[in-house]
Amino acid sequence: MADTTTTPATEEPKISFRNGNKPVWCPGCGDHSVLGALVGALERLKLKPEMTAVISGIGCSSRLPGYLSCYGFNSIHGRAIPIATGVKLSRPELTVVVPIGDGDCFAIGGGHVAHAVRRNIDLTLIVMDNEIYGLTKGQASPTTPLGTKTKTTAYGAYEKPFNPLEVMLAYGCSYVAQGFAGDIKYLTGLFADAIQHPGLSFIDVVSPCPTYRGGMEQYKTLRAMQHILTPENHNEHDWDAAHKLTRDKSQMHIGVFYREPRESYLETQEHLREKAHKLKAQAVEDIANVYR
Ligand code: SF4
């Protein structure tokens, strides 16, 4: 009897990054789209699950690795970036993606962001920015707009919100982009582009939390404000133009704000190794032997 389970030699087996677990996010949560777009991007790039690691911290968004078939770690609050850095340094051949919430990234783990940027470590940092702490049921986060009433700001948020895109540009990030969870098709392409960027790529995804901030109607408002960046209307290599865009709130600019070809951390390390080799620097083992 013919073996019907065998894949014909000419047909490539379909790789799926979904592991079959059903997301527990609320209906309408932007995180569903981010998951769909990330899976689409990884599959479009023909990456292999065994060569991919998705590292998160804590929060609604950080549940994401639990729905994927690749390596994943739903780690500790604010520490997704250093853990992902360790994964990348120890296994440089892996593609490492960090889905993270706005609070996890810019409050609890805020100190790690600047150092990942200055190292230009090869990670893709996807902020699912819903301007609230969703998992803990609706407290103000670093990106909550002024005047917003939340569980912790009964009279309206009074601390000036972070502008993630402006902050990342000011830090010197080599890839800064904004996406929108209401446009999964565009988001898929944006993620695929960011994953291929050598060095740290940062995408701030406007990812609504309809349960604790804004309801479902915000999708309509945001969609009306959407403005796609193209080579005709924006030069992504112009830092000043990108900076101007980060401050323009009259529209929701979507796409790559800034891109700078720059040596990644691993490339720098490789060049240092070559330099040391040329100078005939002693191997660490030889130095250690002196003290044995
Ligand atoms: Fe999404 Fe908000 Fe529900 Fe969390 S609480 S799953 S962020 S809609």
Closest by CA to 128, choosing from 67, 58, 43, is: 58
Could you tell me if the CB of 218 is within 6 A of ligand 1?
no
- Pocket test of ligand 1: the residue of 135, 136, 217 to mutate, having most ligand atoms within 8 Å of its CB, is 135
Q: How far apart are the CA of 263 and the centre of ligand 1, in A?
A: 37
* pLDDT value of residue 22: 96
Ligand 1 atom with the shortest distance to the CA of 28: 8
CB contact at 8 A, 172 and 166: no
**Residue 104 beta carbon below 6 angstroms from any ligand 1 atom:** no
Confidence at residue 11, expressed as pLDDT on a 0 to 100 scale: 67
Q: Is residue 157 exposed (0-12), middle (13-18) or buried (19+ Cβ within 10 Å)?
A: buried
pLDDT digit string, tens, across residues 266-281: 999 999 988 888 877 6
- Ligand 1 neighbour 62 (Cβ under 6 A): no
Instruction: Show the low-confidence residues of the chain (pLDDT under 50).
Output: 1-7
- Measured CA to CA, the distance from residue 94 to residue 92 in angstroms comes to 5
Question: Could you tell me the domains of the chain?
Answer: 31-263 (3.40.50.970)
Whole-number pLDDT of residue 271 = 92
Give the C-alpha distances (Å, rounded to integers) separating 184 from 57, 181, 217, 283.
23, 6, 18, 50
CA-to-CA distance for 257 and 286, rounded, in angstroms? 48
Among protein residues, the one whose CA lies closest to atom 1 of ligand 1: 29
Distance (Å, whole) CA 170 – CA 137: 31
